[in-house]
Amino acid sequence: MGFLERKIKYFICTIDNIVYTTPQISANDNLASRSYVYFYYNKKHYKFYNGNKLNLPIFPNHAKTIKERAKLLHKLQQEYTKALNNNWTPTGQTNLFDPILPIQ
């Protein structure tokens, strides 16, 4: 499998013009360096070091062991994946394709 094929398999298209990749983990075996979850949303790169944007208390860089950090990063990755699948946007804007209810 070539580089381009590996990249393309991570793309998910929800609506014609909203494209994002599945969140990935960037980490190493050094607790002194910061780890994060990253993805592309509409061709822009986003990095998240914790769950603050989702109002979740997930802080992988506060972990005391590599194993604990890996567990928290996996949880963070799952939460961002779930949020993206539920039309959450990293920009904080509402999805323009959500149904609009009439004012009564």
Tens digit of each residue's pLDDT (9 = 90 or more) over 81-99: 999 988 899 987 755 555 5
pLDDT for 55-80, tens place per residue? 999 999 999 999 999 999 999 999 99
Alpha carbon separation from 25 to 2, 19, 71, 95, 102 (Å, rounded): 21, 19, 11, 25, 41
pTM equals 0.76
